[in-house]
Chain A
Amino acid sequence: MSGERTGAGLLAGRGVLRRLGGVPVVDRVDLAVRPGRVTALVGPNGAGKSVLLDCLSGLARPDGGRILLDDRDITRAPCHRRARLGVARTFQQVAVFPELTVAENVQVGAEQQRPSRPGGAALRARLTAPPAVAVRQRVAGALRLLGLTPLADRPAGDLPLGVLRLVELARALAGAPRVLLVDEVSVGLDAGQVAWVARVLALVAREGAGVLLVEHDLGLVSRLAETAYVLDGGRVVATGPIERVLADQRVRRLW
């Protein structure tokens, strides 16, 4: 089964093109993130993985191609609207808010869920917007899931990098995402934390969300993912079931 048939995807990129200074760094990439699965995106440094993630999450606008969520075109939707539609992400350079506490960091992710549609829909959405209790439950749930409850009231600025990665992941999960884009989550984590994160990501996928894992740690990738895309020089050079992709001679040469 090939990943190019994007119709089955929850979040899909079709022919995504992104240039920096005239040079394509993401070159007409087709990619699909399926619900209930972990999909891996691997490749050497500078292959364009993070830029592709920016295009999918809305931080960068592609110079060509389309981004689809449930077959709906969201190419022009700004990042925050995509987040509200259920596309969450973490960053390679960890993105937490140092002035806020751990719990407040997670709360920012939980309380933005208010779909903005015009007219009566907006009013209904407002009336059914997450009430404070639900937000608090979601924050507590996300903190518990990542073992952060004891640190809830600590300012994030005081914590080590490994913990901050968990905080960022908790914030992404608190928004109850349908698609989770994870960028190099294992960097700065110790072995125990990596195992914990792997369990959490597997759980997220089991509950029906799609996970896109950008990762250098091939051990983590082969443990979690079913499908993989290999990116090199901005192009997809291999794709398919994870074992086959990782065994491919052309792919092995890249490492």
Chain B
Amino acid sequence: MADPGLAIDFALAGVAVGSAAALSGVGLVVCYRLTGVLNLAQGGIAVFIAYLLRELVVVRGWPVGWGAVLCLLVVAPGLGVLLQLAVFGPLQRRQAAIGEVVVACVGVLVLLIGAVAAIWGTTPLTDVPSLVPARTVTLPGGHLLRVDAVAQLGTVLVIAVALWAIGRWTGFGVRARAVSADPTLAELAGVNAGRVAAAGWAFGSFTAGLVGVLLAPLVLLDPYGLPLLVMETLAVAVAARLQSLPIAVAVGLALGIGQSELTWLHPGGTLGPLLDAVQSNLFAVALLVAALVPWGFVEGFTEQGLLGGGGVPQLGRRRGGDAGWGSSWGWGWATAVCALALLTPLALRAGGVRAVLTVPALALILLSVVLVTGGGGLVSLGQGAFAGLGALAAALLASGRVPVGAALVVTVLGLATAGLLIGRPVVHRRGLVLALVTFALAVGLSRFVFEQPYATAGLTVLRPVFLRGDHAFYAAELAVLAVGALLVAAVRRGRLGRALVAMRDHEAGAWAAGVAVPRVKLLVFGLGAGLAGAGGVLLALGGEAFDASVFDPVQGLLWFAAVVVAGVDSAVGAVLAAFALVGLDAATVPGMSAVVVGALAAGAGRLPGGLAGRVRRAVPG
């Protein structure tokens, strides 16, 4: 362990991952500075390009070089320009709130992942082509150096230097720096900010594709694993505060090398498995830390200052009178239709009930998004993680032979408490930072709890005898969902609901009117955690198992996008989204629900209020 030579070997081995992470960070920073958007869709672009390259090279027999040229220099930049023209340009022109931009990004991500799953299937693939063959040369002193790692490191450095040179000495660079400093002022000075943003997206997509192609051979290629891996490298850009290229490169390389170095620290004892988890998920840890450390002032964020404003998302906001939060229920008919749709399976035979057994549970989780995001205006991407904790708690309690009703109550109360505790350092964050922090929490919980044998091994979930039948269990699920919906309705109609709307509409005004903004945010976050936890309990009981893949963070993003699309301001939206998520995949191919939800979410900026809102407005009364 004390051999310094070994440390050098591990450092050289870490360069491959480190340079890919550095590249990802450079792409994110450049894209953010030219477009004002943090490219949360990066993982989707990466996985799409990686699959496309494999299709061309392995299935169609193209040479790797030509396939790479087409994928990385034509398709990826083209995709970026398309995103600017179709999705982000329109949002920018009407100065959409940060929440809408986050939703559009998540939509693009989910759409691309869904497309990959629908086209190429979900079976993990091992025959992924490498851009540079993994040859090794022996250095003087006996150290092994991988040629591909050197090539990657070289690429990163060349790109970073080229970017600096372009920014310094070309006319485009000057215009781009002007846009990066102040888009409005640059436009007034005659710079076409749209064209600069298109270039930013083209470059961001190119680096995303390159990162995907570089990382794919190092892991099993499947539609969900690679995007999450790429999204964990958000840590690099976040650590660079979306501004500094040198910091991004340095942090990326440091994390890659650090991760590699940690592999030779193999401690025994009880802490061993935990440290192993830290080692294999160092990027997740870094993301959590980088997002949680206060951001200070970063251009485009309103992290600091009470009067910042503008960072509060105004999803589905309409100007009053439209059965929004706080108004009376002008939509009894929609509730009735939803109730009918939920009750219908009770009349079906056992197989029919089994197919929709997850719908009420999922609706409950989505209801928590309705409460937290629709009601509280908090863009929380971590509700799926709370559901996962609920499922895990249910499994633990069930394994300990705790009666199911008691387990449900204990879990919900426990999670509400956990939500209050976790929410304390989190809820005062705004907009994009809040989205990042909650996503990082979801990644952390998934990597360190749900996927770890020390937390989930040997759990058995058995429904009690009286809920063994699917009909009985479905009816019980409906009862819990009804309680959740009534809770949300009570919140929305009461003092808390008015305070929430006030807070979303004008935060400084709400403070001045005496609304205890921090406490209200925390309360709604805790309630949301409890609701999501209840949904998780039902999912675990329904499937009679704890399945970590259900609570994958990317899955959580899909859920978030689905409920935003269906209508984040009403319980109807949650039920609609749950049916769509379960039904679309069952009726067609897995991934179809993600494609539909993603496409709608990417265009959500043009559909305020979601589908439910649109339909509701179309129906008179």
Contact = CB atoms under 8 A, between A and B. Distances in A.
A122 to B, nearest CB: 14
A80 B502 CA distance: 13
A59 B514 CA distance: 12
B511 A80 contact: yes
A155 B516 CA distance: 23
A96 to B, nearest CB: 7
A111 B495 contact: yes
A104 B501 CA distance: 10
Contacts of B326: 99-100, 104
A102 to B, nearest CB: 10
Nearest to B324: A99
B319 A108 contact: no
Contact of B514 (A83, A96, A101, A154): A83
A158 B321 contact: yes
A96 B504 CA distance: 11
Nearest to A107: B498
B512 A88 contact: yes
A81 B512 CA distance: 9
B292 interface: no
Interface in B476-534: 495, 498-499, 501-502, 504-506, 508-517
A138 to B, nearest CB: 13
A196 B52 CA distance: 70
B318 interface: yes
Interface in A147-163: 154-158
B618 interface: no
Nearest to A114: B514
Contact of B512 (A91, A99, A101, A156): A91
B155 interface: no
B136 interface: no
A59 B498 contact: no
B317 interface: yes
B579 interface: no
A95 B506 contact: yes
Nearest to B325: A99
A156 B327 CA distance: 12
Interface size class of A (residues with CB under 8 A): 35 or more
B320 interface: yes
Contacts of A171: 513
A154 B327 CA distance: 11
Contact of A84 (B318, B319, B508, B514): B514
A89 interface: yes
B307 interface: yes
A98 B505 contact: yes
A154 B319 CA distance: 11
Contact of B511 (A59, A100, A111, A172): A59
Contacts of B340: none
A175 B510 CA distance: 13
A88 B514 CA distance: 8
A54 interface: yes
Contacts of B59: none
B521 to A, nearest CB: 12
B306 interface: yes
A227 interface: no
Contacts of A175: 513-514
A202 interface: no
A97 B325 CA distance: 12
A84 B508 CA distance: 15
B319 A155 contact: yes
Interface string B149-170: 0000000000000000000000
Nearest to A112: B514
Interface of B: 306-307, 317-321, 324-327, 495, 498-499, 501-502, 504-506, 508-517
